[in-house]
Amino acid sequence: MTEPIAQTMAGCVVLVTADRRSAELGAALGRRGAVIRHAPALSMVPNEDDAQLVAATRGLIEDPPDIVVVTTGIGFRGWIEAADAVGLAEPLTAVLSRARIVARGPKARGAIQAAGLQADWVAESETSVEIAEALLDDGVEGLTIAVQHHGAGSDGLDDAFTAAGARVRSLVVYRWGPPPDPAALDASVRSVAAGEIDAVVFTSAPGAAAWLGAADAARVADAVVARMRSGRTVAAAVGPTTARPLLDRGVEPLIPDRGRLGSLVRALVGHYGGLQVLTTSAGALQVHAGAAVLDGRVLALSPSGLEVLRLLASRRGDVVTRSEVLAALPGDSRDPHAAEVAIARLRDATGDRGLVRTVVKRGYRLEVLDDAPAGEAPQPVRRARA
């Protein structure tokens, strides 16, 4: 019998900022218990019917290149599919098989292999800078280089190779378009600033830059960056290139060792599985943005109940006054009875009335068994093995 997937991310609210394969990524995280929100920062506009792409492909077949640079896996697959749609797939792959093929990272190499070809060299850093350095060191003067660009267009390779004496042929197989739902994008950056999101997942550098740009436009960038820097909201990027816009803001994201969605999921699962938890009299307790998990159970809490538990957990066994409990509840009631009712409901939801203790004439506290310093927050894992 297959063992059930551990609900390591139970209660975590994860924002997926990608358009392509967002459903696949969300489903993989959802199977680990995460609550998924989608807000693509950009749309991807394919060029399968682009006459310019077809004409450029015919030109390469008639005048074969010496070197082919593949910058993205999805772009290379799209190029082969576009060629196939007009009957050019076979002659194109024949031409590519005779060229030196350079791949920008493992995803590009995987797409090349899927087409029955082999990459001669792979930039493990997944950067165009590494590709430029390697080819310029070898010398490109007099050579014809075909460059399949990503959706953001030229990334400096064309100019670098042209300046070194090469003849460059550019192919853009897809382009980045506007976000499919601008309102959802705006709401997503505001939700992160408000502390409603546990993790934000990025799968492309243009997407990460556009999402941060949306935070700038909403005037919440400072709050968003502060949360990510502190680790209260985890930023996760599929690879070093995707991470660059975040690093430029001083955010060091979680990055898997391999630039694949499966590795990204495992990195997030490993991060949350390794987070420090409160050891209480009722079991291990973790409080996330959208839910709390006690002894492996997601607690059925109201939003106000979750805020009260979050307040108690942040004190790690120290006393929380009744006035502080009232401040965590909606409205502006100062009636001590409202605090007592909220605590009673919290006890019922946890199923252990001894978890929240009443401290006579002072307030309430969690029955915490560990001795970690009060208010200590778990620090983000910066890199993770796949």
pLDDT of 69: 96
pLDDT of 202: 94
- What's the rounded Cα separation, in Å, for the pair 330 and 304? 7
Beta-bridge mates of residue 366: 356
Where on the phi/psi map is residue 151: left (φ > 0), alpha (ψ -120 to 50), or beta? alpha
Cα torsion through 27, 29, 32, 33, rounded to 10: -90
- For the stretch 238-260, pLDDT in tens is 888 788 899 999 999 999 877 67
Give the three-class secondary structure for 25: helix
Task: For the chain, give every residue range classified as CATH 1.10.10.10.
Answer: 278-366
Close Cβ partners of 213 (under 8 Å, ≥ 6 residues apart): none
Q: Which CATH architecture has domain 278-366?
A: Orthogonal Bundle (1.10)
pLDDT of 249: 95
Report yes or no: 171 and 79 within 8 Å, Cβ to Cβ: yes
* Cα end-to-end distance, the chain, whole Å: 25
- What's the rounded Cα separation, in Å, for the pair 377 and 386? 25
pLDDT of 275: 58
Low-confidence ranges of the chain (pLDDT < 70): 1-6, 46-49, 151-154, 259, 273-276, 370-386
pLDDT of 382: 37
- For the stretch 12-60, pLDDT in tens is 899 999 887 788 888 888 888 888 999 999 987 766 557 888 899 999 9
pLDDT of 264: 87
CATH number of 13-42+179-273: 3.40.50.10090
Residue carrying structure tokens 């009722």: 282
pLDDT of 301: 83
Beta strands in 20-179 (DSSP E): 35-38, 43-46, 67-70, 100-103, 121-122, 144-149, 167-172, 174-177
Half-sphere exposure of 120 (CA within 13 A, CB side): 14
In b/e form, how buried is each residue of 246-273, taking b as 16+ CB within 10 angstroms?
Answer: beebebbbbbbebbbbebbbbbbbbbbe
- What's the rounded Cα separation, in Å, for the pair 123 and 134? 9
Close Cβ partners of 68 (under 8 Å, ≥ 6 residues apart): 96, 99, 100, 101, 102, 145, 146, 147, 148
Where on the phi/psi map is residue 248: left (φ > 0), alpha (ψ -120 to 50), or beta? alpha
The dihedral through the CA atoms of 176, 180, 186, 187 has a sign that is negative
Q: What is the CA radius of gyration of the chain?
A: 26
CATH number of 45-176: 3.40.50.10090
Task: For the chain, give every residue range classified as CATH 3.40.50.10090.
Answer: 13-42+179-273, 45-176
- What's the rounded Cα separation, in Å, for the pair 233 and 253? 10
Element (DSSP H or E) covering residue 163: helix 157-163
